[in-house]
């Protein structure tokens, strides 16, 4: 008997055993795959229920490990009659390890039907679906650009799912230095995307990995175009003193909306923005002092000295240094905060090594208490950026991310994610706070925090309930906050 015939016989036996095992899984149900856009539309309770289905399914069956072994064997044997079964397991099985094994087996078998199925996962909500789709695309007949280039169209990049797919395509192992060197379309794409809001990091990494002899001329040309661009206030005219007068008259949010609409501040706009920012942060300082006193009066475990230590003594020197490093002044909003307020720290660090104070809802520890660290504390970001960018082409250094706060998990002394930050250079007045879920500008981030009496995630209560918080506990939390006697100044 030939090896091929033996493999076919072996495949038939393995498939029969697999089908018999799966037929015994009568209580686990099915769980269809979701697109990223559909996933993002789920409520916290719906997302948790979807995840719980997988956990329950794994616990409900004892032989899922042997089933994954059988699936891998079918892939190794490239047993084509197993493809319909593997597709069903990939698309419907709630047991994640089984899905993973089925995806890889489909790729190994490699029929047109198997590859088409995997290719359809390019907008899946989980990384594996997108990874397997890209693995197929990069190994399809034709050039990599012909197969993947459509992911970078303007239409695709308008959605979260499209940006996720494009980002993973740029970071895929197939985007090598050889590919960038051999196909000018990949080089041009990466140069064009080097400063992209969401794809810039991946684009710059691809350029860093490529041959400098190839990327250097393209980056030099891009830099020349950047320098030639005139930084103008987007065609908007401004009479000096107008915004300051409006702000003093109470049009606080309207003034900041106008400032936020200007991507490039010229000298007139910047001078006005700096005056408005100073007035704004003086009101922020008053709010911070009043809120801190009110929270402490309710027993919140911080001290006045911790919460509001004041501006750093060398703040002007550091702001000048940042302007030298980045080639642009620090945006007026954070610069004025560091000058006028310096630091706000409402994180209950004294509770990290002990119990939470009696009578204070412990859930508030993960409700993202307000923190804005001073520039001196954040200076390690500057030092790391200078070290990492020393040998790079100026167009590949990328933005300098200045940490302004830990994420809410780290604030509760639980392992978390990336810190909240602002990126420099930024030629506007009020930069976006990065890696924070609300997507707010610096000034709006402060407004949101003060509106929540110092807590940024009070609008995530459905998530807390979905993960086990009772209505009584929620009522206790709300009652405690109602007792914080604080009214904030608008700014």
What pLDDT shows up at residue 2? 64
Q: What's the confidence (pLDDT) of residue 1?
A: 55
| Mean of pLDDT values over 115-133 | 97
| pLDDT(232) > 70 | no
The token pair at 292 is 């801190």
Terminal-residue alpha carbon distance, the chain: 83
Over the stretch 236-271, which tens digit does the pLDDT of each residue have? Answer: 678 888 999 999 999 999 999 999 999 999 999 999
How many CA atoms are closer than 13 Å to the CA of 451, on its beta-carbon side? 12
Look at 61-70, 172-181, 334-343, 423-432 and tell me which has the smallest mean pLDDT.
172-181
Q: What is the mean pLDDT of residues 75-93?
A: 97
Q: Sign (positive/negative) of CA torsion 477, 480, 484, 485?
A: positive
Share of the chain above pLDDT 90, in %: 82
Angle between helices 96-109 and 64-77 (to 10 degrees): 10
- Measured in whole angstroms, the distance separating CA 445 from the mean position of its chain's CA atoms is 16
| Mean pLDDT calculated for residue range 437-447 | 97
Instruction: Judge whether 117 and 133 are in contact, CB under 8 Å.
Output: no
More confident residue, 175 or 94: 94
Of the candidates 436, 396, 482, 39, which has an alpha carbon nearest to the alpha carbon of residue 222?
396
DSSP string covering 233-267: -TT----TTHHHHHHHTT-HHHHHHHHHT-SS--H
* Residue 466: per-residue pLDDT: 85
Alpha helices per DSSP H over 327-470:
332-340, 379-389, 408-411, 442-451, 461-466
Residues 309-352: pLDDT tens digits?
A: 999 999 999 999 999 999 899 999 999 999 999 999 999 999 99
If pLDDT is split at 50, 70 and 90, which confidence band does 6 have? confident
Whether 488 shows a pLDDT value over 70: the answer reads: yes
Classify the phi-psi angles of 342: left when phi > 0, otherwise alpha if psi is within -120 to 50, otherwise beta: left
Residue-range domain boundaries for the chain? 3-226, 242-482
Residue 399 pLDDT level (bands cut at 50, 70, 90) = very high
**What pLDDT score does 228 carry?**
67
For residues 106-132, average pLDDT: 97
Average pLDDT over residues 172-187: 88
- Cα separation, 137 vs 145, in Å, equals 10
| Coil, helix or strand at residue 434 | strand
Does the domain spanning 3-226 belong to CATH 1.10.3470? no
Q: How confident is the model at residue 127 (pLDDT cuts 50, 70, 90)?
A: very high
Closest CA to 406 of 415, 394, 418, 396: 418
Mean per-residue pLDDT, 116-130? 96
Closest by CA to 395, choosing from 274, 223, 256, is: 223
| CA nearest neighbour of 98 among 168, 28, 9, 40 | 28
Mean pLDDT of 419-425: 96
Please tell me the pTM assigned to this model.
0.81
Q: What is the mean pLDDT of residues 38-44?
A: 92
Q: Is the pLDDT of residue 230 over 70?
A: no
Q: Which residues neighbour 15 within 8 Å (Cβ) at sequence distance 6 or greater?
A: 74, 79, 81, 82, 85
In eight-state DSSP terms, residue 396 is G
C-beta of residue 369 within 8 angstroms of C-beta of residue 348: yes
* pLDDT for residue 168 is more than 60: yes
- State how far the Cα of 319 lies from the Cα of 335, in Å rounded to an integer: 7
Q: Kindly state the percentage of the chain with pLDDT values over 70.
A: 97
Over residues 443-453, mean pLDDT: 98
Give which of 365, 338, 347, 344 is closest to 288, Cα–Cα: 344
Residue 347 φ then ψ, to 5°:
-75, 130
At residue 236, the pLDDT reads 65
């Amino acid at each position: 008997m030939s090896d091929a015939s033996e493999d076919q016989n072996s495949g038939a036996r393995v498939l029969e055993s697999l089908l018999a095992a799966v037929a015994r899984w009568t209580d686990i149900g099915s769980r269809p795959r979701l697109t990223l856009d559909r996933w993002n539309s789920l409520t916290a309770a719906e997302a948790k229920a979807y995840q719980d289905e997988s956990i329950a399914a794994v616990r409900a069956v004892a032989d899922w490990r042997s089933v994954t072994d059988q699936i891998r064997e079918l892939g190794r044997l490239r047993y084509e009659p197993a493809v319909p079964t593997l597709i069903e397991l990939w698309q419907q099985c709630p047991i994640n390890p089984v899905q993973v094994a089925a995806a890889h087996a489909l790729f190994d078998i490699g029929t047109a039907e198997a590859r088409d199925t995997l290719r359809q996962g390019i907008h899946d909500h989980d990384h594996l679906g997108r990874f397997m789709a890209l693995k197929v695309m990069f190994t399809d007949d034709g050039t990599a650009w012909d197969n993947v280039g459509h992911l970078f169209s303007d239409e695709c990049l308008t959605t979260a799912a499209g940006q996720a797919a494009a980002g993973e395509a740029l970071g895929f192992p197939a985007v090598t230095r050889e590919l960038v060197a051999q196909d000018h379309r990949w080089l041009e794409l990466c140069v064009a995307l080097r400063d992209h809001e969401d794809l810039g990091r991946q684009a710059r990494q691809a350029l860093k990995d490529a041959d400098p002899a190839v990327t250097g001329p393209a980056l030099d040309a891009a830099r020349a175009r950047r320098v030639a661009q005139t930084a103008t206030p987007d065609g908007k005219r401004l009479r000096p003193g107008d915004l300051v007068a409006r702000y003093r008259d109470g049009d606080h949010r309207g003034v900041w909306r106008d400032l936020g609409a200007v991507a490039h501040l010229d000298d007139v706009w910047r001078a006005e923005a700096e005056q408005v920012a100073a007035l704004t942060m003086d009101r922020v300082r008053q709010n911070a002092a009043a809120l801190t006193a009110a929270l402490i009066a309710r027993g919140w475990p911080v001290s006045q000295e911790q919460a509001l230590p004041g501006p750093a003594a060398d703040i002007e020197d550091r702001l000048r240094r940042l302007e030298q490093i980045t080639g642009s002044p620090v945006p007026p909003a954070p610069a004025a905060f560091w000058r006028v307020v310096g630091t706000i720290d409402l994180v209950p660090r004294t509770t990290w090594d002990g119990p939470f104070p009696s009578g204070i809802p412990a859930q508030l520890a993960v409700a993202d208490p307000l923190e804005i660290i001073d520039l001196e504390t954040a200076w390690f970001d500057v030092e790391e950026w200078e070290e990492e960018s020393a040998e790079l082409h100026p167009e590949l250094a990328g933005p300098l991310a200045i940490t302004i706060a830990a994420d809410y998990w780290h604030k509760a002394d639980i392992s978390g994610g990336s810190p909240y930050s602002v990126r420099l250079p930024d030629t506007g007045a009020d930069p976006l706070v990065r890696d924070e879920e609300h997507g707010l500008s610096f000034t709006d981030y402060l407004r949101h925090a003060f509106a929540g009496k110092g807590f940024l995630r009070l609008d995530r209560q459905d998530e807390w309930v979905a993960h086990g918080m009772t209505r009584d506990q929620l009522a206790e939390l709300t009652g405690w906050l109602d007792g914080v006697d604080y009214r904030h100044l608008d700014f």
